[in-house]
Amino acid sequence: MRARIEWPCTLIFAASIGVVHGQDLARVRAAERERVAVMARVAPAVCSVMPLDAPGGGSGVVIDAHGFVVTNFHCVGKPDVKRMKIGLPDGRLYQADVLGVDPGSDLAVLLLDPRDDNAPWPFAPLGDSDRLLAGEAVFAMGNPFLLASDFTPTTTYGVVSATHRYQPGQGNKALVYPDCIQVDVPINPGNSGGPLFDLRGEVVGINGRISISNQRGRVNVGVGFAIASNQIRNFLPDLMAGRFAEHGTLDLNAWFMERDGRRGVFAQSIFDDSRVTDFGMRLGDEITRFCDIEVKSANQLATLVGVLPAETWVSLGFRPLQDDSGFGAEKLVEFRLRRLDTGSSREEDRIASDDHRKVALGALARPLDRAPAPDGADGATLAITGPDGATVRLARLGEHLRIDTDSLALVLRDDDGGFAIEGGIARDLSDEERAKLARVRRCNPFLRGAHGRRSMLEGALLDGGVMIGTRPAFRARLPGDGELEVWLFHDGSAAGCRYRDPVQKALIELRRDGAHARVVKDGELAVGWTIGATDFTAPAPALFTRPGS
């Protein structure tokens, strides 16, 4: 009797296992179909990059419908190379201009010649490499060993082994990979410059350095490195504008050690002309934080610094070594990074043509193309506050602009008429005051919504990039005098501006990213000044009417 009871239960249990296994198999097959579909979707954007009249080459990826291609600098070969051939999976060869190069971290940006019908190019967008986790599946595409004569990419699959790896170069002006994604994906010669994708089909890295075994005919041994997409994004506006990318440096070496019972990162050597010495930093001082990030290792610090362009404003925290009492209180200082010598050049004649820079600006400003037209009252107010409580207030209503200080109000109306109120008495604007108001109205993006920011770019050219804190933005050079620039983040939001103030007779920069804001005057930080959040409530029309009129 007991055997008859157990026998059907065993059948039911076995059947349930079969159902579970069947469900697992279905999920595996569904995941495989989705993965294959993603690979098929992005493959048309993967390209072969070759010299015009020489053998060899590497890989690349089109990242924008306008035809911008990202690849390795060593695939281009030399800084003075102007043109390259591009092979796409449609089996055809195209030509492209070499725009910007970054010899320091092995990057280059090219721009495909427009198609005869001006059709958009297939592309794969840059993703967020900081979202990657060790163990996450990724895949690489490219043309290893130049196997595909029809330029159909080879796909290899694997996992992320580690993130934020620092790979130093050997000797002066050597390639440095400050923020790498380490993968076990097979990356072989010819894959250089090709994309590393996540399973969303976004480019999270550009394949570069690999470990090779010559015993088996120059093949990968399971350790490869891709340049992280977020590092690329920091330099992308400079590269798209046709510039040499320039990396920043602290001009010091640090090491991790335990000292006097403290485990930390300490200054091991400091260049004589390093900017940190201006703030009293010396050998043996403990480095505590960089750009509000706690410093836990020397390699981490090298990565944090290495992904930033030269002239980026940074903050550095350190604790001075004291001979008799350990370490003093933490000091927090702010300064611009100096330029690291990586073989780049500041030659202005390298910059891309005006036509290319217009195309590049249009590509970077694309998020603003979807901005809705303004609805109802169009206005904004903004407060810039100094350390002593002094406040500069800016108010805009339509194209009317008013700037208030403690004792002076300047107003420019939409018909370019205007007035000043000084000591309660109205008067005409001086030429310098009128020019200042016109320049601020033209270039300050904090006073504009998305639709207004898009309109500000009319006639502008991409001039390069700028870092606001640790967040990349692009610089649009506006036509006319006054050295006017509008700075926008890659999502189209306001990052800052620059203009020459004829009243103060100074070059003014306004920078803001959330709670972090800086005011810079003639290249020097205006200590203690902050930029508030924009209030998009329309100000009263009476503010823009001359008293007594």
Residue 14, token pair as written in the block:
């076995």
Can you tell me which residue has the tokens 């990318």?
245
Q: Tell me the C-alpha to C-alpha distance, in Å, between residue 38 and each of 28, 29, 30, 80.
A: 15, 14, 12, 37
- Parallel, antiparallel or unpaired: strands 321-322 and 68-71: unpaired
DSSP 442-500: HH-GGG--HHHHHHHTTT-EEEEEEEETTEEEEEEEPSSSS--EEEEETTS-EEEEEEE
Residue-wise pLDDT for 275-300, tens only, equals: 999 999 999 999 999 999 999 999 99
Q: What is the CATH number of domain 250-339?
A: 2.30.42.10
Catalytic residues: 74, 106, 192
For 135, the token pair is 């163990």
pLDDT digits (tens, 9 = 90+) for 343-357: 555 555 568 899 999
DSSP H or E segment with residue 438: helix 431-443
pLDDT for residue 3: 47
Closest Cα partner for 108 from 437, 344, 392?
344
What contacts 454, CB < 8 A, 6 or more positions away?
365, 368, 369, 371, 492
| Distance, C-alpha 259 to centroid of its chain | 37
Instruction: Say if residues 527 and 374 touch (Cβ distance below 8 Å).
Output: no
Stretch(es) of the chain classified as CATH 2.50.20: 376-544
> Are 232 and 70 spatial neighbours (Cβ–Cβ below 8 Å)?
yes
Kindly write down the DSSP assignment for every residue of 142-174, as one continuous string: E-GGG--TT-PPEEEEEEEEEEEEEE--SSTT-
**What's the rounded Cα separation, in Å, for the pair 402 and 445?**
15
Angstrom distances, CA of residue 509 to CA of 152, 310, 315, 352: 48, 17, 18, 25
376-544, what's its fold? outer membrane lipoprotein receptor (LolB), chain A (2.50.20)
* pLDDT at position 361: 97
The vertex-161 CA angle with 24 and 248, nearest 5°, equals 140
Contact call for residues 188 and 146 (beta carbons, < 8 A): no
* Contacts of 388 by beta carbon, 8 Å cutoff, 6+ apart: 528
Q: Of the candidates 386, 399, 429, which has an alpha carbon nearest to the alpha carbon of residue 530?
A: 386
Question: Would you say 294 and 300 are in contact if contact means Cβ atoms under 8 Å apart?
Answer: no
What token pair was written down for 15?
């059947």
* Residue 417: per-residue pLDDT: 93
Closest CA to 81 of 47, 114, 52, 104: 52
Residue 127 pairs with which residues in a beta bridge?
none
The answer to whether the beta carbons of residues 237 and 364 sit under 8 Å apart is: yes
The CA distance from 80 to 121, in Å, is 26
CB 109 within 8 A of CB 242: no
Q: Which amino acid is at 351?
A: I
| The residue to which tokens 């002239």 are assigned | 311
Given 3-state DSSP classes, what are the helix, strand and coil percentages for the chain, each rounded to the nearest 5? 25, 40, 40
The CATH number given to 1-247+340-364 is 2.40.10.120
Q: What predicted TM-score, i.e. pTM, was given to this entire model?
A: 0.89
Regions in the chain scoring below 70 on pLDDT: 1-20, 145-148, 168-176, 210-222, 259-261, 324-325, 342-350, 373-377
What are 180's two structure tokens?
């790498």
Q: Where in the chain is the domain with CATH 2.40.10.120?
A: 1-247+340-364
pLDDT of residue 5: 46
DSSP label at 387? T
* pLDDT, position 19: 55
Cβ contacts of residue 468 below 8 Å, gap of 6+? 487, 489, 495, 496, 511, 512, 513, 516
Q: Which long-range contacts (CB under 8 A, 24 or more apart) does 456-463 make?
A: 456/486, 457/361, 457/365, 457/368, 457/486, 460/361, 460/486, 461/354, 461/357, 461/358, 461/361, 462/237, 462/240, 462/241, 462/357, 462/358, 462/360, 462/361, 462/364, 463/241, 463/357
What 3-state DSSP class applies to 339? strand
Distance of CA 56 to the CA centre of its chain: 30
Listed residue (117, 105, 65, 108) closest to 84, CA to CA = 108
Task: Give which of 121, 297, 105, 123 is closest to 201, Cα–Cα.
Answer: 123
Three-class secondary structure of residue 529 per DSSP: coil
SS3 301: helix
For helices 229-240 and 354-364, give the axis angle rounded to 10 degrees.
140
Assign 409 to helix, strand or coil.
strand
Residues sharing a CB contact under 8 Å with residue 91, sequence separation 6 or more, in sequence order: 150, 151
* pLDDT score at 78: 83
C-alpha distances (whole Å) from 470 to each of 51, 247, 315, 318, 387 are 35, 13, 10, 19, 24
- Element holding 237 (H helix, E strand): helix 229-240
